[in-house]
Structure 1
Amino acid sequence: MIQRGSTLNSDQLRDMIQDAHLNFLLGAGASMPLFALLGDVENLLTDITAADADEDAIAFAQASAYAHFFAGVIAKNGDLLRRTASAKKLLATYERFIQTLNRLLLRRRSAILNKQVNIFTTNIDIAIEIAAEDLQAELNDGFTGRFSSRFSTSNFGSVVSRRSLQYDNLSEVPTFNLLKLHGSVSWATRRLDGTDVIAFDRRLRLVAKAAEALEEVDSDLPAVDDDTAAEDLLEEGEGHGLDLDKFLTAYRRLAIVNPTKDKFQQTVLNQNYYDLLRLFSNEMEKENTLLFVVGFSCRDEHIKELMVRAARVNPTLQIIIFAYDSRAAAQIAAEFKQQPVTNGNIQILEPPGPAEDGTTVAFDLATITGRFFDPLVPAQSRVAPEILRDGGATSA
């Protein structure tokens, strides 16, 4: 049974966080509005790939869909590097999110649980990495090495502690484990020491090459939206005469999980994808685990099935899904309709209805952080100097 509601008691939420393994699952909605939502592009690309059509028509249809995805999601990462106004707004949202979680971890009363939070995300953008670096937060993104950085799922789970130079005190540092389930625009597959590995592409060179190749053919490709049908693209692509090899080759070099049912272009990415899903599954099966889902439509079959299975076998697991609005809440509930959860440990939270003045609330990442998590750890106020001089005591 999936529960739906619009409220969550702050005291209950505080107790849940204090004593649970803390996890977040962030979807495309968490990075809105800078990054576009995928819409129905997954089904579109799946239909194109499975179509009984000639290779040229399929290449034309795929290039059109890829160009739509590239413009709305991949290319927008350049805004983050250039720090445009819209990018700064998104980075500020993620910084507030990270700062709030950092204070929550610092105030954990349990000495048994590590001061860590796992952030699983299907997003391929680099907003979290930039926000964490701006804050100098301890982010573990799975990479090790400075000159030849390489990714490995074995790098997750490390505990970071710091020792005071003066008093030799040892304290654990809050750590954010970032697990990018669908890869990243900053990933690049390379051959090192005879093995295919995922390296860190800090300058997004592969994205730049794909953008350059797309520019040559973009004006000749049709616009794609939620109403575009695979049959229409395939028909338009018959005998198109365009040279799409350069763009398709550059696009397929990107180390991202493509928005299709089969998803993969590269074996090394396939292997890491399932390793990351295994880590997600393992975390969900731990006792007293808490998963907050933000901006995720629950349409990804692999992840949804893992959530449902874990909810069934682990009654101590609590999954709280924040729906953007009531329509999104109904769509998410429909995704679980044929997969009943007997423990009742999946809850969908949707915004309350319109206020008396007609204003409405949407559960985006900024609103969720401010409404649910900020009140749990109010910022400390400065103690007035006269109170200190008088020997008084205050608490924040």
Structure 2
Amino acid sequence: MGTNDFPCKSSNIYDKNINFLFGSGASASYIPTLHVRNGKTYEDLLTDPDVKKDDDFINFILHSYYTNIIEKTFCTPKRPFPQNYTDTIKSYSDFLEELVLLLEKKGSTQIRRANIFTTNYDLFFENAADNILQKKTFNFNDGALGFKKRKLSISNFHLTTWHQGTHDMYKHELPSINLIKMHGSVSWKRNESEEITINYPSTSPDVIELECEKTISEFAEAVFETGEGLKRFLNLSEDDSDDLKNFVSFYKSLAIVNPTKEKFSETVFQQHYYQSLRLLSYELEKPQTVLICFGFSFQDEHILEIIKRSLSNPTLRVFVFCYSNASKAQISTLVNDSRISFIYPKNDGHNINFDKFIDRVFRNDNGDWISWTN
């Protein structure tokens, strides 16, 4: 198959039901992964039997998880912005601008809508949308309606917006981009009525620093490698222990999934998660549908199962962009089918980052360093 035959490019998908699935890899240049030490993750720590015996251990891990990872997902770094933040927000902005241009090419009888499903709870898409709305007119739908009180509902993703002339002499459908955040968001809160409301913060909340000088990597070493007595190793002061308890009260107010198999602490978040899964399933069952995956590891077993089941749709095409050869090998062991195309570097000297992903889908670069398999 030659370069011109590359199936996942804008000229081949503009008239399809367009869906994207983004994972943590899309924001990885700014937001660290869950990796802690020697292949171990925060999930491994939080599910370790010895760790689970003591609340201080759990609270210490969650505090580290917040300060090292979650705090960055608010996307409100201090000025001057670090280069990796500036580069990441530019990539998100470029992607949305190209997607709006693609939707504008749809015919008058086609719905000018694309769905972005994401497991990320950072605010890069929302910030990028503000950037693009300064020069393009489109509807960016985060699933909430309201003014002072904006309430989230899956049903809001089925709305369409039309633009009419001043004298109602014409009307045309605005491009719409739905953002479905499957693992929650740092902009979400659960209110007293068991509803999810959305409010975008201008800064990230302050969290008290601990007196404890142990790092999460050192703690992981004690858990998995040295077998050192954890209580004696961590040696939290009474003030640290009290601060951690106060921190966890704040942490539980965040409407995000936990880095464990038991993802949800609140029923309302679990309910939204399964509603978003049903929406993904519904979209993938539609005729002439494409699903384009980027930065997604396929480790979420529920999303993986939805995609596997959807492959019974004979007109569905799934395109999986793999950052490296190693990630392609890993993902292909989890999901594989004749309707799935894996796009990956030809050799270990190349990686498919966000910008190269955009170039390959929307700008149709020559891609001589890219391979793909069906």
TM-score of Structure 1 vs Structure 2, range by shorter chain: 0.7 to 0.9
The 2-side partners of 1:349 and 1:181 are apart by 24
Question: 1:201 maps to which residue?
Answer: 199
Residue 346 of structure 1 is aligned with which of 329, 335, 340? 340
Question: 1:271 maps to which residue?
Answer: 271
Question: 1:386 maps to which residue?
Answer: none
Q: Given the alignment of the two structures, is residue 176 of structure 1 paired with residue 177 of structure 2, yes or no? A: yes
Gaps of 5+ in 2: 366-374
The 2-side partners of 1:170 and 1:153 are apart by 26
CA 1:11–1:23 in 2, change beyond 3 Å: closer, same or farther? closer
The 2-side partners of 1:229 and 1:31 are apart by 30
Give the match's secondary structure for 2:215.
coil
| TM-score, reference length from structure 1 | 0.80
Q: Given the alignment of the two structures, is residue 212 of structure 1 paired with residue 223 of structure 2, yes or no? A: no
Alignment of 1:250-261 (within 5 A): 250-261=250-261
Give how far 1:134 is off: 1.8
Q: How many residues align?
A: 348
Question: 1:367 maps to which residue?
Answer: 356
Give how far 1:314 is off: 1.0
The 2-side partners of 1:15 and 1:212 are apart by 48
The 2-side partners of 1:72 and 1:9 are apart by 43
Question: 2:127 maps to which residue?
Answer: 130
Question: 1:108 maps to which residue?
Answer: 106
Question: 1:286 maps to which residue?
Answer: 286
Residue 97 of structure 2 is aligned with which of 83, 96, 99? 99
The 1-side partners of 2:168 and 2:67 are apart by 53
List per-residue Cα deviations over 1:6-47 (Å, max 9, x = no partner): 967357734541331000000011012111122353541452
Question: 1:118 maps to which residue?
Answer: 115
Give the match's secondary structure for 1:224.
helix
Read off the aligned partner of 2:313 and give its amino acid letter.
N
Preserved CA contact (<8 Å) 1:80 1:127:
no
Give the match's secondary structure for 2:32.
coil
Give the match's secondary structure for 2:191.
strand
Q: Given the alignment of the two structures, is residue 63 of structure 1 paired with residue 59 of structure 2, yes or no? A: yes
Question: 2:323 maps to which residue?
Answer: 324
Give the match's secondary structure for 1:212.
coil
Gaps of 5+ in 1: 355-359, 377-396
Larger relative CO (CA 8 A, sep 6+): 1 or 2?
1
Report % sequence identity: 30
Preserved CA contact (<8 Å) 1:187 1:254:
yes
Preserved CA contact (<8 Å) 1:27 1:122:
yes
The 2-side partners of 1:53 and 1:361 are apart by 39
Preserved CA contact (<8 Å) 1:35 1:76:
yes
Question: 1:237 maps to which residue?
Answer: 231
Give the match's secondary structure for 2:9.
helix
Preserved CA contact (<8 Å) 1:16 1:290:
no
Question: 1:357 maps to which residue?
Answer: none
RMSD of the TM alignment (CA)? 2.8
The 2-side partners of 1:335 and 1:11 are apart by 22
The 2-side partners of 1:12 and 1:252 are apart by 41
Preserved CA contact (<8 Å) 1:22 1:116:
yes
CA 1:318–1:247 in 2, change beyond 3 Å: closer, same or farther? same
Preserved CA contact (<8 Å) 1:67 1:218:
no
The 2-side partners of 1:88 and 1:114 are apart by 33
Preserved CA contact (<8 Å) 2:19 2:114:
yes
CA 1:54–1:309 in 2, change beyond 3 Å: closer, same or farther? closer
CA 1:228–1:346 in 2, change beyond 3 Å: closer, same or farther? farther
Read off the aligned partner of 2:198 and give its amino acid letter.
F
Question: 2:310 maps to which residue?
Answer: 310
Read off the aligned partner of 2:149 and give its amino acid letter.
S
Read off the aligned partner of 1:163 and give its amino acid letter.
Q
CA 1:302–1:97 in 2, change beyond 3 Å: closer, same or farther? same
The 1-side partners of 2:8 and 2:187 are apart by 38
Question: 1:387 maps to which residue?
Answer: none
| TM-score, reference length from structure 2 | 0.84
Give how far 1:199 is off: 1.3
Larger radius of gyration: 1
The 2-side partners of 1:287 and 1:218 are apart by 58
Question: 2:144 maps to which residue?
Answer: 143
Read off the aligned partner of 2:146 and give its amino acid letter.
G
Give how far 1:366 is off: 1.2
Read off the aligned partner of 1:70 and give its amino acid letter.
Y
Question: 2:369 maps to which residue?
Answer: none
Preserved CA contact (<8 Å) 2:223 2:230:
no
The 1-side partners of 2:329 and 2:4 are apart by 18
Preserved CA contact (<8 Å) 2:321 2:352:
yes
Residue 216 of structure 2 is aligned with which of 211, 215, 223? 223
Question: 2:155 maps to which residue?
Answer: 154
Question: 1:390 maps to which residue?
Answer: none
Question: 2:87 maps to which residue?
Answer: 89
The 1-side partners of 2:132 and 2:345 are apart by 30
The 2-side partners of 1:218 and 1:97 are apart by 42
The 1-side partners of 2:4 and 2:220 are apart by 37
List per-residue Cα deviations over 1:175-204 (Å, max 9, x = no partner): 11000000001111111xxx2111123226
The 2-side partners of 1:133 and 1:121 are apart by 18
